[in-house]
Amino acid sequence: MTRIEVAQESQFGPDNLPYGVFASKHGPYRVGVRLGDSVIDLAVALDDPIFAAASLNPFLAQGPQRWREVRERVRLLADNEIPDAAVHSLVDVDMKLPVQVGDYVDFYASIDHATNLGRLFRPDSEPLLPNWRHLPVGYHGRAGTVVVSGTDIVRPRGQRRTDSGAPDFGPSKRLDIEAELGFVVGVGSELGQPIDIENFGEHVFGVALVNDWSARDIQAWEYQPLGPFLGKSFATSLSAWITPMAALESARIPLPVQEPAPLPYLHAADPWGLDIALTVQWDGAEVSNPPYSRMYWSPAQMLAHLTANGASTRTGDLYASGTISGPEPDQRGSFIELSWGGSESIQVNGQKRTFLEDGDEIVITASAPGPDAGRIGLGEVRGRIRAAHD
């Protein structure tokens, strides 16, 4: 039997307990929970075959009551000895995508990010378009190119506008990141049945860090009139660990004032956001600290709007917040903002940079308030850029 020792400064104590899918050196993929620097094999520790699956989906589909029961059982395990066969060192396991993603939707919920891009793209007009304060703007992404943290990202190729106004075709020269927070649906909804804003907790299991890689030059040429396509669909990175919403109770904060007041289907009795602090590192250099607390549209509003037309959801569906940015220059969650469209350099280890070069590595981390003045860690989402295919 083993008792897992958790360092006092660890952000992965018994108040956190995020879920992931791992494999030991000689074993199949299965569901585990992180405690400190260890992974608990739930199939062994709880003697439950549902956790022997190579995905969280079967467990998530069981619903909120089951989520609560398992969390309480794992919390008890964390305070006691655990069978040796159920405990693995974090450094000895391989992590895979934690959920089978059925659909992926990306929103545009940061007022600071939307304002910055509006000023860049429409300098002589109002930064926010007329609809922005009335609904959470979003688009459907490509679920099949959501990859787990640590996966290399191949530089995408596509059409780019040249100085002549005509396009050429080649590797993106303005490859960017978007630091985001993703929400994982546990219990789906029926086609034709919207999810009420007050029923968020009956459907969403937890959160994960997202990097929605963006090819800005490809995007700029293609996005009018139908929106993002090849400039976005080549890759979206998802952290290996899903933090349950139950671990983030201490991170709930009032939502910023929304003016004008949202329409009734987007109006919550107690509108809430999340106090989550992100950090963006570029080749090891810290370049930004985006605050999720500034997000204008809430997680519950995004889900209510996503399904307002009767669109169904499924277990494993992922929707993301869009780029998280704050009002200060060092709080911008994308390089198009940090470099102000490429006109201002970003200092990275003594070098002047604007957009990503081959070999660059981006690591996004985050934490949130936990009980008793502690912090809850959300892990990391990591990716390195590889050269475009010939």
Indicate the SS3 state at residue 116. Answer: helix
- Is the bond preceding residue 171 a cis peptide, omega within 30 degrees? no
Q: Which of 26, 88, 113, 140 is an active site residue?
A: 113
Residues 231 and 221: their CA atoms lie apart, in Å, by: 9
Residues 192 and 32: their CA atoms lie apart, in Å, by: 35
Contacts of 272 (CB under 8 A, 6+ apart): 252, 253, 254, 255, 298, 300
* Planar angle of CA 282, 390, 236, nearest 5 degrees: 40
- The question of whether 113 is a catalytic residue gets the answer yes
Own/partner contacts of 220-223, CB < 8 Å, gap of 24 or more, are 220/160, 220/161, 221/158, 221/159, 221/160, 221/161, 221/167, 222/158, 222/159
Indicate the SS3 state at residue 336. Answer: helix
Whole-number Cα distances in Å, 75 to 44, 187, 217, 240, 355 = 15, 23, 48, 21, 43
Nearest alpha carbon to residue 296 among 276, 325, 269, 337:
325
Beta bridge partners of 383: 362
Residue with tokens 């469209």: 341
Contacts of 316 (CB under 8 A, 6+ apart): 55, 56, 57, 60, 99, 100, 101, 102, 184, 185
Residue with tokens 């200060």: 328
User: How many residues are given for the chain?
Assistant: 390
Residues 5 and 23: their CA atoms lie apart, in Å, by: 22
Nearest alpha carbon to residue 129 among 108, 98, 152, 103:
108
Nearest alpha carbon to residue 33 among 95, 101, 81, 102:
95
- Cite the active site residues: 113
